[in-house]
A and B are shown apart, each in its own frame.
Chain A
């Protein structure tokens, strides 16, 4: 109890009042340093397969010999379809599946995004597992076009060959669905939405035939032409929409089979020449985090992950000596492993950062970094809260910030007791006793001002609601005008803090007290910390990216010094979310207009909510920070 009361007494210690900015800065520095040490051997772990049933690489694979001839034939058939209209292509693919005695169907979809129509057709076939009761299914995907918009000629041919090959086996205890989607992101999304009846029937056709619950999905991306191409490595893509990841066991199984059984080296995050140094590991991790943070679809597998279907894409890279049959055997072995599953993949991690194909960091190790960065905002919010309760230095009109000017109690009874403690009675000092020590301190350090909370709370809520306006426009504007819209948004958002600051400080007849602005910043940072902490559990990377980019918001204050103001405003102008989109896409080598178009596609088709976070959490916090600083300029 003595401890408790001494902690309570410590609350008034002057050093403690000065501490929060340093504490916030400390949190940010530690948070970032934490990330940087993750690639070290001491903080990361080797991957391992947790699920006993998977037994990766324990089966002999038979996909060889005459299957190679079948594959080459299909490769030419697929090649012949490349320039054909979609209907004809679907017909031809359907007839190939039909020849193999599979149940076949097609699905049309037709989305309108940013005034552009995206329409095409998926073809899929279902192999009923001889030992299956149609309650569970695996999916093998060959997208017609891969992420680089190349025709996935050999990939689709391999899916067709494997369909024919799998059909002959009697050991399947799950149904296998072969899906030839029209492209790598929208087609699979339409299909998987319809599979789970989550689709809008005006845009996406319902599926005519279905199987059981999907247990896993593997996509093949092998764009070699009709004469083949020997590749060097397998690039395993695992990011799902909104930064959700597949169970690590699926990834590990794929690596164990490809690397251990087939001898194909596996790489991730487009780090094709990974020599396992600290720098390469860090780069891999950061690339993974950016990809996860953006939350976009990175391959045909991405759309499956939000439906709790673990999925990966295997894509071939480089020139080497591995051929299509090795890839086929890898897929065969992978499906044999998945076929063993007795329950949904659940043993291993769902939250991880991969450093290379065989090293990872688990959530317990990396989550504190994002939490520290989120907590820094809460600390500053707490400090501002305390500050808002303290009378400003040398300010005499304390009563004016009080909503109800204290009037002397007229009632006899309460007069006899004493005036209420919070009425501002004349003595400017008071005696504080702590144990044996007695001291006289200015009363301003022990009293607490009344805080009018309604106005600041409403203003902060309004600022967050305003974020919905750009969200709406960016997702509905024609794609050709997105660039212009972005320019407008950049200009408007740069001026916005000045407009707000002017209306806040100068337009009203009775100036709004400084306390109100302190409270506005307090609530805004509290909201940001809150949002980022919640986001860290859903999409760690997005949370830490936004956290780092908005870290200065913890430290910006209204000052009288013009130089300091300009410095703060300059920094904020660079960290304006709209500007961040501009310079980061330039830096990462992406075309801004394309990024904006994809974001709109993401919103309409994939169910992406990165932009909601940007516009409703990050942007309002930035505007409030800017407004606070801009107030010092007038």
Chain B
């Protein structure tokens, strides 16, 4: 174990060094990233957060300007830090710590072993895993994670709470799980959709730990109530801080109704730019219904592998939510290595990685053509966000195929190695 701890320490130190040295060597780099639409969305941008903090410290409602759409509790936290334009170090340290904690959480998820063997299902390839350190390293040195951290996007915080919620659920810690998920949902709303699969996961771990299965209904109701109370407390605290309930419309309202059509890597903005106003409500409903419909479907079909469902849902969020950024993709792509045992069953890994790589290189190029060179137009960038989403969808679909195939291999051993055919 001491060797492992030493490795972990070394890797965490290296990751921290990268995050602190890069902005020191290239002082303009973080601001450049902060302005990139791929990294900062209207609901996570650090620039907008600074605007909100400025208004907040001058005793103006931060939501008056129509610029700030993030959670109110971030304001007191960031107003404690020194001004990031003069002393960027404090903010950088905060974000570095957030990333390290996230990596720690992802390591805990890997340590739990819930990715290969759950209460109801044990993969036949369960020996095929990467160590928790390798997976944490993958998270820390993922270029998308590093970019998010340097851009100081607040999705880093949401990611931390999502990962913590997963880790706590995988270790059967009810209270911390509820708190972490409440924070994640409070910060960026859509993580609330992770509640069903993670609740199943929590139930599974509790059931294996205690040997006596808790009653399903009391368990579910108790935890749902707990989550409601935690979120209620956070919202009340927010109302207390800002002095009114206006923040609900400015934060969750914006996430739900998409009034800000700034381009991002997702699929919504272009669609809603083109939309006639009379259809807007209808399609908002359809889009949200679509994004949310994965939750029950996946949770029921893959209820034996709840952690896989939760991770797949983060991928769904990275594609189908209204304001996705590369931070969401970073979260999903860092969780995929947990399912190392499914890799031999995946069929399009090269294709998908190539699509993601192409999109990450062509995206900035096309954005440049559209915005700076003026020789392209919005279609250029939108086309590339389609490729990006396609790449992520291929990974998503392929890993789901692999997970189902893995279940099938256990249920019907005689079918192992046979080609599947859809009928």
A interface with B by C-beta (< 8 Å): 1, 4-5, 8-9, 244-245, 306, 308, 344, 346, 350-351, 378, 381-382, 385, 404, 407, 409, 411, 413-414, 416-418, 420-422, 430, 433, 448, 526, 530-531, 533-535, 537-538
Contacts and interface: CB of A to CB of B under 8 A. Distances in A.
B357 A413 contact: no
Interface in B361-383: 361-362, 365-366, 368-369, 372-376, 380
Interface in B96-132: 122, 124-128
Contacts of A535: 365
Given A382-B350, A417-B413, A1 B421 contact: yes
B244 interface: no
Nearest to A407: B127
A533 B124 contact: no
Contacts of A433: 419
10 interchain residue pairs of minimum CB distance: A350-B375, A308-B374, A534-B361, A417-B413, A534-B365, A422-B344, A420-B125, A1-B422, A417-B124, A385-B350
Nearest to A305: B373
B409 interface: yes
Given A414-B126, A417-B409, A344 B374 contact: yes
A409 B127 contact: yes
B358 interface: yes
B361 A308 contact: no
B372 A308 contact: yes
B97 to A, nearest CB: 27
A344 B377 CA distance: 14
Contacts of B373: 244, 306, 308, 350, 538
10 contacts: A1-B421, A350-B373, A351-B375, A416-B413, A420-B124, A421-B416, A422-B128, A422-B344, A433-B419, A538-B365
Given A531-B361, A533-B362, A421 B344 contact: yes
B416 A530 contact: no
A1 B421 CA distance: 8
Interface in B332-364: 344, 347, 350, 354, 357-358, 361-362
B419 A5 contact: yes
A526 B124 contact: no
B410 interface: yes
A308 B375 CA distance: 8
Contact of B354 (A344, A350, A526, A531): A526
B357 A537 contact: no
B259 interface: no
Given A308-B372, A417-B409, A537-B369, A530 B124 contact: no
Contacts of B369: 537-538
A418 B354 contact: no
Contacts of A422: 125, 128, 344
A417 B417 CA distance: 13
A9 B419 contact: yes
A460 to B, nearest CB: 12
Contacts of A418: 124, 413, 416
Nearest to B365: A534
B375 to A, nearest CB: 3
Taking residues whose C-beta sits less than 8 angstroms from the other chain, chain B's interface range is: 20 to 34
Contacts of B126: 411, 414
Contacts of B376: 350, 537
Given A404-B127, A407-B127, A421-B409, 6 more contacts: A308-B374, A413-B122, A420-B344, A533-B358, A533-B362, A534-B362
A417 B374 contact: no
A537 B365 contact: yes
Contacts of A378: 354
Nearest to A406: B127
Interface in B123-166: 124-128
A346 B416 CA distance: 59
Nearest to A310: B374
Contacts of A413: 122
Contact of A448 (B344, B362, B410): B344
A1 B422 CA distance: 7
A574 to B, nearest CB: 29
B7 to A, nearest CB: 15
B284 to A, nearest CB: 32
Interface string B386-423: 00000000000000000000000110010011010111
Most buried by B among A344, A378, A526: A526
A539 to B, nearest CB: 10
A380 to B, nearest CB: 13
Contacts of A530: 354, 357-358, 361
Nearest to B125: A420
A398 to B, nearest CB: 15
A4 B124 CA distance: 27
Contact of A538 (B122, B344, B368, B417): B368
Nearest to A5: B421
A630 to B, nearest CB: 27
Contacts of B423: 1
Contacts of A531: 361
Nearest to B362: A534
Contacts of B124: 409, 414, 417-418, 420
A404 B344 CA distance: 14
A409 B116 CA distance: 14
Nearest to B371: A308
Contact of B128 (A4, A385, A420, A533): A420
A59 to B, nearest CB: 27
Contacts of A1: 421-423
B361 A537 contact: no
Contacts of B347: 8
A277 to B, nearest CB: 31
A244 B375 contact: yes
A244 B375 CA distance: 9
A421 B361 CA distance: 36
A374 to B, nearest CB: 10
A458 B164 CA distance: 30
A2 to B, nearest CB: 8
B366 A537 contact: yes
Contacts of B127: 404, 407, 409, 420
Nearest to A419: B124
Contacts of B125: 420, 422
Most buried by A among B361, B373, B423: B373
A417 B410 CA distance: 6
Nearest to B127: A409
A422 B422 CA distance: 23
A335 B365 CA distance: 33
Contacts of A420: 124-125, 127-128, 344
A422 B341 CA distance: 11
Contacts of B421: 1, 5
A537 B369 CA distance: 8
Contacts of A526: 354, 357
B350 to A, nearest CB: 5
A147 to B, nearest CB: 24
Contacts of B358: 530, 533-534
A245 B374 CA distance: 11
Contact of A414 (B122, B357, B417): B122
A378 B350 CA distance: 11
Given A1-B422, A418-B124, A346 B374 contact: yes
